[in-house]
Structure 1
Amino acid sequence: MTLKEKYATTRQRTERICAPLHTEDYVVQPVADVSPPKWHLGHTTWFFETLILKPYLKGYMEYDANFNFVFNSYYESLGVRVVRTQRGNLSRPTVNEIYKYRVYVDEAMQLLLEQPLTPELETLIVLGCNHEEQHQELLWTDIKYILGHNPLLPPYEESQPSAWATPPAPSFTHIKAGQYQIGYTGDGFCYDNELNPHTVYLQEAEIANQLVTNREYLEFINIGGYKQFQHWHSEGWDWVQNNDIKAPLYWLQVDGQWQHYTLHGLKRLELDEPVAHVSYYEAAAFAAWKGYRLPTEFEWEAASGQFEWGQRWEWTESAYLPYPGFQRVPGPVGEYNGKFMVNQKVLRGASAFTPPGHSRATYRNFFHAHVRWQLTGIRLAR
């Protein structure tokens, strides 16, 4: 696929995700972590306009100077911006205006992509596409949160999901004690936090070949796992108590039966489906109850070729920290990952919402320990 085709395909996929939405759905922001869909549409477009078109396309005219204030996310080097918690108050610009903005920027990008590109510019455009793919995954989960917290629990789409096959009996992959190379070594795209490749020493360990299922997690609930402090980190126990947490996000008891909200509406809990929408606190507590633990990100990467992954982002026991020799590049691109390397946990793999080809075994996702609106799951280790 050419870079021009990659750009067009990426931009079209974003709009396909939003196609089933009603205009009112585009504006809602139930909590700070969730951004309105129309903000995602505008922000990903602003990224291409601000970091690529304005500095690299001769004669380019900015669509609207106010959009830099509206759609800047966290780039301190690019000026002031709307506070994240206020994105849901942006009734203007309208959804229609944002789609016009996307067309305007796409037409300019097509002109740029027809010109000879320097390696530096090609790299930046590829980064922009990967950035938009990240927002596609956020769109899925933000839309699910918006609709899943509407009192009517409306479906995003009416089609029925296929049933999950019964998973094989639990088994573990053995990790031999020794040295392992960690980090990206290919010649394709990766984020700066996957560099630099380095060697780590791992003790002998085992990592589960399957993700924890809803059936297994339900056992934890039924034995009173959310009421037994001994399974929880102190901070996690405080979180459970202060927020009255009793089950994973979207789980509801209806007439004594567990159901969960899906993009197809409220459905009976599929017991053989991998558990999703759990926080690090819940993942760690479940592992402790089972007598296991969560894998480190290095164990996960070392063994990742031995098991299937990609249905859930998998919590690890590793803090999100820089690899040896990590350096931020100057300018706004340097703000992309490095400044978030504090008070967060690494997740590995991908999820059912991850765009095709977007993840790899070295990919390092990261979230705060209480976060669970993403498609997060559990893989055990010992």
Structure 2
Amino acid sequence: MTTGLASAQDGIDINERFQQVRKQSLSLVEPLSAEDCALQSMPEASPAKWHLGHTTWFFEQFVLRRYQPDRPWYAEGWDYLFNSYYQSVGPMHARPRRGVLSRPALAEVLAYRQRIEAEVSDLIADRPQDIELSRLITLGLQHEQQHQELLLTDIQHLLWCNPLQPAYRSRPVEPVAGAKGGNELDFVARSEGFAEIGNEGIEFGFDNEFPRHRDWLPAHALGNRLITNGEYRQFIQEGGYRSAALWLSDGWATVQREGWDRPLYWAKDLASSFTLLGEIELDDAAPVCHISFFEADAFARWAGARLPTEQEWEVAAAAQPVRGNFRQRGSLRPLPHQPVRGAVGQLYGDCWEWTASPYVGYPGFKPLAGSLGEYNGKFMCGQWVLRGGSCVSPEDHLRASYRNFFYPADRWQFMGLRLAKDLP
């Protein structure tokens, strides 16, 4: 198994790549105030300030202290504040209480980032041929890109909770024209057969993408695009949230307990939705977003279909380049797609796609050695796999083998769905 080499990233020098990703994180907080960066709107989210500190702690803990074991911590107690879930390296501040960390101040966290960046950059310069160092840096950058997406989704939830519902960015970048017609849902068939699943080891991959292995895929068909707001509204209007027969037992219990009757962020009149750009009119042709696995599964049942397995999704995606509506496009919301009949499209970007696959290890899975083995493997219980990335994912962070995972009731991330069907 490999964790990938930094040199595989478009030939960019590892130090240049390090500086590039770190600057991207800072650019995400530019529209925010210090107060915005300190608040936490729910236990599952984290303050933007904490994301900035934690991604820096990662480099201090797993890079600098690995090469300089006697190096003192940057500041006393910060190893406790910014550890997330790495039990093997020490205790950590409780996740639901990250929002009470008024200190260190944002300016102090930014100074921390600057100092650690300088030390890591010097280390890279001193060890230009160190393959293991390049791998650790690459892992740290991939980890930081995950937190860049989390920072935006957490900020969206925070701003939505504010009665004023302010926009993260008030002047949206105009997107390329979306679908104006001919957006019919079509199913693209694939015959049965064996398929190679998982990361080939040529590019970076997290440990949960390995080992590459053969899976048998029965004959099936995938929807040629994501399900839209208009289609999901029809599900609501036809009683989708009132029909227990459509829901898994835990899903129905969640609907009753939480009072769900529409996707997160949708207005009661089903005409608008809160986004990073503020409240905007729902585009019926754009993908439905911010729905849980339970909601995606219920919709699929209502539509006479099912969710695709992650293997079915990966086989379709592996045949295509990684292109789509990602963060770099600047839309910060899912956009309509003009499907091509007979082709599976919209596989990357817009919304993470819920699959029918539980998050478990592949046959022969082995976590990374040491503390980094806590990164993915210990979460392989009770969660479901999502694929494809979203409109706030960094484009150069995605690949066909990438496996995201969340609990089935989660929906504050950019989560949508695609339909699949069994074929005789």
- 3-state SS in 2 of match to 1:283: helix
In the other structure, the counterpart of 2:137 is: 125
The answer as to 2:345 corresponding to 1:317 is no
The residue type paired with residue 266 of structure 1 is E
Alignment partner for residue 165 of structure 1, among 155, 175, 179?
179
Give SS of 1:251's match: coil
Map 1:236-247 onto structure 2 (within 5 A): 236-247=251-262
Match in the other structure for 2:160: 148
Segments of structure 1 that go 5 or more residues without pairing to the other structure are none
Identical positions, percent = 43
For the 8 Å contact 2:290–2:411, the answer to whether it is kept is yes
> 1:307 corresponds to which residue?
345
Distance 2:23 2:371 in 1: 25
**Whole-Å separation in 2 of the counterparts to 1:262 and 1:156:** 8
TM-score by length of 1: 0.97
| CA deviation after TM superposition for structure 1 residue 186, in Å | 3.8
Kept in 2: contact 1:175–1:303 (CA 8 A)? no
Instruction: Give deviations 1:354-375, integer Å, cap 9, x for gaps.
Output: 1121011111100000000100
Alpha-carbon offset, residue 28 of structure 1: 1.1
SS of the residue aligned with 2:271?
strand
The reply on whether 1:175 has 2:190 as its aligned counterpart is: yes
Amino acid at match of 2:290: H
1:86 corresponds to which of 97, 100, 120: 97
Residue 290 of structure 1 is matched in structure 2 by 303
Pairwise CA distance, 1:329: 2.7
Residue 364 to residue 257, structure 1, CA distance change in 2 (3 Å): closer
Measure, in 1, the Cα distance between the counterparts of 2:403 and 2:69.
36
Q: Which amino acid aligns with 1:367?
A: F
Conserved? CA contact 1:281–1:370, under 8 Å:
yes
* 1:165 CA displacement: 2.5
Superposed displacement of residue 259, structure 1: 1.1
Equivalent of 1:233, from 248, 262, 268?
Answer: 248
1:346 counterpart residue number? 385
Specify the alignment match of 2:147 in structure 1.
135
Matched with 2:367 is: 328
Measured in 1, the distance between the counterparts of 2:26 and 2:57 equals 15
- Work out the CA distance in 2 between the residues paired with 1:106 and 1:201: 46
Please report how far the alpha carbon of residue 302 of structure 1 lies from its aligned counterpart in structure 2 after TM superposition.
1.4
Q: Distance in 2 between matches of 1:248 and 1:356?
A: 25
Q: CA deviation at 1:272?
A: 1.1
Alpha-carbon separation, structure 2, partners of 1:111 and 1:58: 16
CA drift of 1:308 comes to 3.0
Q: CA deviation at 1:58?
A: 7.9
Paired residues, number: 380
CA shift at 1:185, angstroms?
Answer: 0.7
Residue 223 of structure 1 is matched in structure 2 by 238
SS in 2 for 1:357: helix
Confirm whether residue 199 of structure 1 aligns to residue 211 of structure 2: no
Deviating more after overlay: 145-154 vs 115-124: 115-124
**C-alpha displacement at 1:59, in angstroms?**
7.3
Aligned pair partner of 1:366 in 401, 405, 408: 405
Matches of 2:61 and 2:77, distance apart in 1: 12
- The alpha-carbon deviation at position 257 of structure 1 amounts to 5.6
Q: Give the equivalent residue in structure 1 for 2:332.
A: none
- Bigger drift between 112-121 and 240-249 goes to 112-121
Q: In the alignment, what sits opposite 1:258?
A: 271
Q: Partner amino acid for 2:139?
A: L
Q: Are the aligned partners of 1:57 and 1:112 in contact in 2 as well (CA < 8 Å)? A: no
> 1:278 — aligned with what?
291
Q: Report the equivalent of 2:112.
A: 101
Residue in structure 1 matched with residue 8 of structure 2 by the alignment: none
TM superposition score normalised by structure 2:
0.87
**One-letter code aligned to 1:152:** L
Verify the 8 A CA contact 2:266 2:274 in the aligned structure 1.
yes
Letter in 1 for 2:134: E
Amino acid at match of 2:133: L
RMSD: 1.4
> Is the partner of 1:196 in helix, strand or coil?
coil
Cα distance in 2 between the residues matched to 1:108 and 1:61: 13
Work out whether residues 226 and 346 of structure 2, in 8 Å CA contact, stay in contact via their aligned partners in 1: no
Task: Give the Å deviation of 1:230.
Answer: 1.1
Counterpart of 1:114 in structure 2 is 125
